[in-house]
Amino acid sequence: MVPIIATAVAALAALLHVYIFVMESIQWTQPRVWRRFGVADQAAADVTKPMAYDQGFYNLFLAIGVVIGLALFWAGDAGTTAEVAGRALVLFSLGSMLAAALVLVTSGAKYLRPAAIQGTLPLIGFVLFLFA
């Protein structure tokens, strides 16, 4: 049962990071998006677009790591190379998502809520995958 719950939480974390990718790399200059990220105005959104574009891809790559890890994890029996590699990739990707959320907290108190949103699912998924 724990592997199924761990997989569901990890998949949700991956989906969240794909959504963040879409906002940062595709929709960044839309007012509803840059306002959500605390950008002051359209001019600032235009200036920061290359940085957001790059940052969005980091989120996408972490999500891809989780998805590939989950596929490998479920492709092999317990203790096989696929299962072990999959578990390691999921833990690395979720751990990186969590670390990014912790770094966000160091940016200031106003980033506590976004960090909690970004880091809660990876934290839960990481802990569950340790026991899956």
Per-residue DSSP letter, 132: -
**Residue 82 CA: distances (Å) to CA of 18, 60, 74, 90, 120:** 24, 22, 8, 12, 27
pLDDT in tens, 76-126: 899 999 999 999 999 999 999 999 999 999 999 999 999 999 999 999 999
Q: Give the global pTM.
A: 0.93
pLDDT band for 22, please (50, 70, 90 cuts).
very high
pLDDT of 41 above 90: yes
Which residue do the tokens 């989780």 mark?
66
Query: Do 21 and 59 meet the contact criterion of CB atoms below 8 Å apart?
Result: yes
pLDDT value for 76 = 85
